[in-house]
């Protein structure tokens, strides 16, 4: 399976999309925590030469412009069984909603695993596509995000229901 990548410019800065075969396996910001080495991304493709990466870029751009609320892409994150259990729960968080590390821990096993859940969320190689920005601290505070807290806040504000964001303007 050929691994390749495409770098796109977005309002959040450059984003690298990585594909392996017929699946998207990575989405990384330039200064992403746990960003793999550039060599693992394979060849860089030119925009418009790879249908899968082009579709991922198109959907991501539409999402960032507020014209899309979910993604329809073949995703394949590499991780262990626990990480996949956490990521499956994260995928189910609706756009505009949030949950906590503790609540995910309760769903996976028990609340005492909140720290391990945080580690799994932080290891998510498909941030935005698997919306780990929707996971917040137990008191609703913004906590760790591999792309940085400013990006996490921007993504949450982008998804905020219209009535809530309108209320913040006054």
Which of 89, 104, 117, 132 is catalytic? The answer is 132
Give the CATH number for residue 110.
1.10.10.10
Q: pLDDT at position 1, please?
A: 62
Q: pLDDT at position 111, please?
A: 83
Same domain assignment for residues 94 and 123 = yes
127 is catalytic: no
Q: pLDDT at position 65, please?
A: 95
Residue 165 lies in a domain: no
Q: Which residues contact 104 (CB under 8 A, 6 or more apart)?
A: 86, 89, 90, 114, 117, 121, 135
Residue 168 lies in a domain: no
User: Shortest CA distance to 132 belongs to which of 86, 163, 168, 166?
Assistant: 86
Per-block mean pLDDT, blocks of 10 residues, the chain (170 long): 92 95 95 82 84 96 94 96 96 94 91 90 94 90 84 93 50
Same domain assignment for residues 130 and 89 = yes
Q: pLDDT at position 94, please?
A: 93
- Residue range(s) defining the domain that contains residue 58: 3-64
Same domain assignment for residues 85 and 149 = yes
Q: pLDDT at position 36, please?
A: 80
Q: pLDDT at position 83, please?
A: 95
pTM (predicted TM-score)? 0.90
């Amino acid at each position: 399976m050929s691994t390749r990548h495409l770098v796109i410019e977005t309002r959040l800065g450059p984003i690298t999309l990585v594909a392996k075969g017929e699946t998207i396996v990575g989405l990384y910001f330039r200064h992403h925590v746990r960003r793999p080495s550039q060599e693992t991304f394979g060849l860089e493709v030119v925009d418009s030469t790879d249908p899968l990466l082009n579709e991922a870029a198109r959907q991501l751009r539409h999402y960032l412009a507020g014209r899309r609320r979910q993604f329809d892409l073949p995703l394949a994150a590499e991780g262990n069984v626990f990480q996949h259990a956490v990521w499956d729960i994260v995928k189910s968080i609706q756009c505009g909603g949030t949950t906590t590390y503790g609540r995910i821990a309760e769903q996976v096993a028990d609340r005492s695993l909140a720290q391990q859940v945080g580690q799994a969320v932080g290891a998510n190689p498909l941030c935005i596509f698997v919306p780990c920005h929707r996971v917040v601290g137990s008191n609703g505070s913004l906590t760790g995000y591999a792309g940085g807290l400013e990006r996490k806040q921007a993504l949450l504000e982008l998804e905020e229901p219209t009535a809530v964001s309108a209320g913040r303007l006054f």
